[in-house]
Amino acid sequence: MKNTIFTGAGVAIVTPMNADGSVNYDALGDLIEMQIAGSTDAIIICGTTGESSTLSDEEHRECIRYTIEKVNKRVPVIAGTGSNDTAYAVELSKDAEAMGADGLLVVTPYYNKTSQRGLIAHYTAIADAVNIPIILYNVPSRTGVNISIDTYKVLAEHKNIVASKEASGNISAVAKLIAECGNKLDVYSGNDDQIVPIMALGGKGVISVLSNIAPKLTHDITALCLENNCAEAAKLAAENLALANSLFIDVNPIPVKEALNMMGKAAGPCRLPLYEMEDSKKEALAAALREAGLIK
């Protein structure tokens, strides 16, 4: 068995922006403190929800550095260092390790994509370059690439590849992954509406969008699963399904940043091409937040 980076709810934290589009590091610090106070089990910085694709190289590195220093070992910090350029992913991963990251989240190559053989070569190059654990990130709806079970089996043999964030939405594929690689590869749900089924199959937790606005709730759902109380976890998840789903009425992270703004947290705008939601969606989101008691 490899060492598990974290169990429970890790937040895929947003990157707050000022009105002029610059990164708001003070607000990021406030959100980090809110997460830790809310029992979040790990902070994942510069993932999809953190708008990593529109951060400059300097901003990307500074967000990782700032988060590691702000968290100060209170919970694990996992840095998003994936790229469709293997050489850049290697460079960024090495820098994140040098800054003190506890682990890396590495998405499959996007746009140029690759074959399954290419995935093995890509991830092996990154894993060979560092000495900290790596979470693979499988999100074919965004990248156009799906990691096959056979590829997972090969990658799971690498000592530094310890887990996968599964955001394919395919529960059958996740079940097969856990059956084939469960003793060599931890699995985290990449979808908030699939926390309980994936953890019931043996998953270790979630890398969550919902945690941005409801860290204690998300932590509690995973904690119940870890206690083998999936019935209560399912009840809690079902009671809050509308809230979780409201964060996906537009392209992530547009709704979750809007939700944080409605809650009085300075998440700010998204960067183009992500654009402000239309009023009808804002009203639906506000209704879900009111129903959950997060705003008045």
Which residues are known to be catalytic?
A: 137, 165
Residue with tokens 């809050």: 240
Structure tokens at 225: 């699963």
Distance CA 284, CA 293 (A): 14
Distance CA 73, CA 75 (A): 5
192, 175 contact by CB (below 8 A):
no
Strand 205-208 versus strand 186-189 pairing type = parallel
Query: CA Rg, the chain, in Å?
Result: 18
Phi and psi angles of residue 285, each rounded to the nearest 5 degrees, phi first: -65, -45
Q: Quick check: helix, strand or coil at residue 146?
A: coil
Helix, strand counts (H, E) of the chain: 13, 8
Distance CA 283, CA 89 (A): 39
